[in-house]
Structure 1
Amino acid sequence: MNGKKKALFIDRDGTIIVEPADEQVDSLEKLEFVPGVISALASLSGLGYEYVMATNQDGLGTESFPEETFRPAHEKMLKTLAGEDVRFDDMLIDPTFESEGAPTRKPGIGMFGRYLTGEYDLAASYVIGDRLTDVLLARNLGARAILLQPREHGAAQIAEAGLSEVCALVTDRWAEVAAFLRAEERTAVVSRSTRETQITVSLDLDGLAPSSISTGIGFFDHMLEQIVHHAGVSLSVEAHGDLQVDEHHTVEDVAIVLGEAIFRALGSKRGIERYGYALPMDECRALVLLDFGGRIDFEWDAEFRREKVGDMPTEMFRHFFKSLAESARCNLHVSARGENEHHKIEGIFKAFARAMRMAIARNVFSYELPSSKGVL
């Protein structure tokens, strides 16, 4: 998070509303929304993007396209969107004809001056439109593009124009656009390097990427893999530590980096369930109480009679979860009972993963903060 603003620069005709054959929405009868656009834009309203409409309206204000024929349908469109809490922070409308070659006409960036001052993180912003000019605009702004076209046809256009690195998604379904942008928020990559360890963790809370775990501690890898499977996340952990000394630094630092990755990937926390879980495993039972509310508290009620399980010291399990709780800024209460030490600790990791799965689950139709205080 760099503190800068980010924006969705959204085309109008062909993207928000259907573009008629004559390319002018100049009457209420011609006003028709692109399927899925209203619910998609409403579902994205909590992700921190400013909504900026950016549209070319050929000859607007001339005899061929008078303002009085443009405004009724335009205002009706805006009123309908506002009824679903979708409002634009800015509207950029270029009225020139393509033949004029005006710098304000997309894909030119002449009307985007306020977004080029460094206040906006354009690399984290998107241009969404149905034409190649929208993808070119994204390139010119230093943003990424989403092309609203049938995938095969649109991908061919992008490849032919050499814009594959700019265009992040090609789809003709607004539901896929919304899912893509929501997934973008739910990822994090965190690295930590000390004299004892070098750790990199990549986390995708929606499980959209392959997973790989390598810490040099076999049983620890096995336990982290339980988080992948039972939390439904994608997790890559690459850890190099001073195992010739002992396992302490590696386990502790993986916990710190993983906790930080969870915290960052949760982002605004809007719409998450927040809480989560108990489960039995053979003769054992494990209870994990979890709250991603932003405050730190840790309780541990589990004892082990063996010094090690596999190649991992049992004393490190408590330390792992304590470090993770502090780094993830969460309440984490863990208890376990049972006879088999392997089952007991595996039950704890599985219960934690299931609690995490419950807590990070997000209602795509509601982006309220799960707090009566209005802040987490």
Structure 2
Amino acid sequence: MTSLAERLARPEILALPHVDIAANPASARDIVKLDSNENGYPPLVTGPLAGDINRYPDPQALRLTARMAALYGVAPDEIVVTRGADDAIDALVRAFCRAGEDAVACCPPTFGQYAQAARIQGARVVEVPLTADFALDEDALIDAVRRDGAVKLVFLCSPNNPTGDVIAPGTVRRVTAALPDTLIVLDEAYIEFADVESMATEATRADNLVVLRTLSKAYGLAGARIGALVGPSSLTAIVGRVLPPYALPSPSLAAALDALAPTLMPIHAERIATIIADRARLAGLLRDADGVTSVREGGANFLLLDVADPAALARRAEAAGVLLRFRPQVAPGAVRATIGTPAENAALLALFGQTAGRTNRTGQAIRHTKETRIAVAIDLDRAEPRSIATGIPFYDHMLDQVAAHAGFSLILQCEGDLDIDAHHSIEDCAIAFGSALSDALGARRGIGRFGFSLPMDETQAEVLIDLSGRPFARFDGDFTASHIGAYPTEMTRHVFRSFADSLGAALHVRVTGDNDHHKTEACYKAFGRALRQAVRTEGDSLSVPSTKGVL
């Protein structure tokens, strides 16, 4: 049975012969590769761009396709990885729209690339404007497409750019059901920031629904240009025909695979949660600002403001070095502002005479070696969330004790060579933990700096810490048992040495007692309590707790 995609596709696309692209096996380093007319000499570049860029990348991007398919819950043949979602939009128009004959429909104000790609291809653009409150007028859209008769593609953006409004999945289903002979393209570039589920998996089961995704927004890869189109395999096969060979450059493929490593996913989730929380906080502050008529929060990573004097705002923004996107086609005073880092958000608020207040002290560390892949995120001013997965249950429990007793949030994920033993994972997690904590402390202004002893049943543990910036470690204590579960007790001494070195702290640990479980746990708990005292803010938040004036 012929699919809808095959019936709608341009005949010229269906008639294209198979593209003869050389195979690029994963073992390319081990073979003599003389099939692709590449330059076999190493590239004359250094740094992260070096690698094997004298060789063509994987033409099918098989590893990244598999990873993104898993991320979106679809099969590899139901996704096409593209150079950003823009490339997917362009590929759809080129695959289905004949110049001077076919049309696309979109609902302005919305992302301008839908109409731009159509006009470049010579297709007409049918515009069905959003309502006065920027809602989709589904009845008007359905009627316009039916009356036109030549619309091949309908582009819907949810959350919509630039308004941030989310289209309910039920509305999308009604449109697809009412227009069974038209491809409905749902652009979900901002879906990770919205309180609604993606329709990607649903698109693979529907003849006429296509979903676009991107790694630019939620995963911080705008410069890598990685997007994707999700739909039934009959459609993805057709779209794949119009893409150029070797479309994705090797550095972008490598960056995307690194960014989507399983160890990093909890960090991405926490960043997304932070952006959502900051979006709500900034919206509340800006609604009270002079000259702001309204604020639309929406479900994306930006706010749409309506200001009384956009020209004056533009002058202030230029003087402050802040780039905003003015959108007069939405409303005379419409301005789109992205939710950024704490410093960037403070700069935005300052344009409107608002202060951000004290921001949380956060730190991150990514440690990738041949033995481990570790990601850590710490927030010293929040007690939650705490999520630790090292692959060593007792060590997870110990690190959780540190964070719980220190009173800060800790996310730590590790993939290590546990098939060899636990040494590398334990050591590298301690190094990454200390590095993230040092990052969160920054210049170490306004902190307690010192701290603690702790009794636990028959055991007494004493941890003395000085966040001086000068690493030193001393550990007094012995263990009888070789292991507690999969955790080698001999590593306890090594862990605290790694903490001291990566944190930049003088760390003295002393433990006595009879039960090795109690002794080990008491060390970690006391360390957490010492950190609670040492990292807490007190007195002048700008002062350095040292007579030298610097740590």
TM bin (shorter chain): 0.5 to 0.7
1:203 paired to 2:378:
yes
TM-score by length of structure 1 reads 0.57
1:250 paired to 2:425:
yes
Pick from 379, 397, 405: which aligns with 1:222?
A: 397
1:22-42 deviations in Å (ceiling 9; x for gaps): xxxxxxxxxxxxxxxxxxxxx
Alpha-carbon distance in 2 for matches of 1:102, 1:289 = 56
1:270–1:311 Cα change, 3 Å = same
Pick from 302, 306, 327: which aligns with 2:477?
A: 302
Alpha-carbon distance in 1 for matches of 2:422, 2:539 = 41
CA contact (8 A) 1:135 1:145 kept: no
Alpha-carbon distance in 2 for matches of 1:212, 1:232 = 14
CA contact (8 A) 2:383 2:407 kept: no
Other structure's SS at 1:195 match: coil
Alpha-carbon distance in 2 for matches of 1:102, 1:137 = 11
Q: Which residue of 2 aligns with 1:279?
A: 454
Q: Which residue of 1 aligns with 2:359?
A: 182
Quote how far apart the aligned CAs of 1:225 are.
1.1
Quote how far apart the aligned CAs of 1:141 are.
10
Task: Please give the residue correspondences for 1:111-190 in structure 2 after superposition, counting only pairs within 5 Å.
Answer: 111-113=316-318, 115-116=320-321, 136=335, 138-139=337-338, 144-145=344-345, 177-178=356-357, 181-183=358-360, 186-190=361-365
Quote how far apart the aligned CAs of 1:367 are.
2.8
Alpha-carbon distance in 2 for matches of 1:115, 1:375 = 30
1:177-219 deviations in Å (ceiling 9; x for gaps): 42xx331xx1112111111100001111112541111011011
Q: Which residue of 2 aligns with 1:28?
A: none
Report the AA paired with residue 412 of structure 2. V
Quote how far apart the aligned CAs of 1:368 are.
1.2
1:260 paired to 2:432:
no
1:302-329 deviations in Å (ceiling 9; x for gaps): 1001111122111111111111110001
1:138–1:222 Cα change, 3 Å = same
Other structure's SS at 2:537 match: coil
Quote how far apart the aligned CAs of 1:224 are.
0.7
1:146–1:136 Cα change, 3 Å = farther
252-261 or 134-143, larger mean C-alpha shift: 134-143
Other structure's SS at 1:305 match: coil
Alpha-carbon distance in 2 for matches of 1:201, 1:141 = 20
1:336–1:208 Cα change, 3 Å = closer
Other structure's SS at 1:347 match: helix
Please report the RMSD computed on the Cα atoms of aligned residues, expressed in angstroms: 3.3
Q: Which runs of 4+ in 1 moved over 2 A?
A: 110-116, 133-147, 364-367
Report the AA paired with residue 460 of structure 2. R
1:272–1:311 Cα change, 3 Å = same
Q: Which residue of 1 aligns with 2:520?
A: 345
Report the AA paired with residue 528 of structure 2. A
Q: Which residue of 2 aligns with 1:269?
A: 444
CA contact (8 A) 1:304 1:341 kept: yes
Quote how far apart the aligned CAs of 1:295 are.
0.6
Report the AA paired with residue 182 of structure 1. T
363-372 or 306-315, larger mean C-alpha shift: 363-372
1:331-376 deviations in Å (ceiling 9; x for gaps): 0010100001000011100100000000001026543110000011
Report the AA paired with residue 550 of structure 2. V
CA contact (8 A) 2:377 2:436 kept: yes
Alpha-carbon distance in 1 for matches of 2:340, 2:434 = 34
TM-score by length of structure 2 reads 0.39
CA contact (8 A) 1:226 1:350 kept: yes
Q: Which residue of 2 aligns with 1:15?
A: none
1:317 paired to 2:497:
no
Other structure's SS at 2:410 match: strand
Pick from 191, 194, 204: which aligns with 2:366?
A: 191
1:139–1:214 Cα change, 3 Å = closer
Q: Which residue of 2 aligns with 1:358?
A: 533
CA contact (8 A) 1:134 1:145 kept: no
Question: Identity, % of aligned pairs?
Answer: 41
Report the AA paired with residue 386 of structure 2. S
Q: Name structure 1 gaps, 5 residues minimum.
A: 1-54, 58-97, 117-121, 124-132, 148-165, 168-172
Q: Which residue of 2 aligns with 1:328?
A: 503
CA contact (8 A) 1:135 1:146 kept: no
Report the AA paired with residue 543 of structure 2. E
Alpha-carbon distance in 1 for matches of 2:430, 2:417 = 16
Structure label with greater radius of gyration: 2
Q: Name structure 2 gaps, 5 residues minimum.
A: 1-288, 292-307, 324-331
Alpha-carbon distance in 2 for matches of 1:230, 1:368 = 25
Q: Which residue of 2 aligns with 1:23?
A: none
Alpha-carbon distance in 2 for matches of 1:141, 1:353 = 31
Alpha-carbon distance in 2 for matches of 1:306, 1:248 = 16
Other structure's SS at 1:182 match: coil
1:135–1:364 Cα change, 3 Å = farther
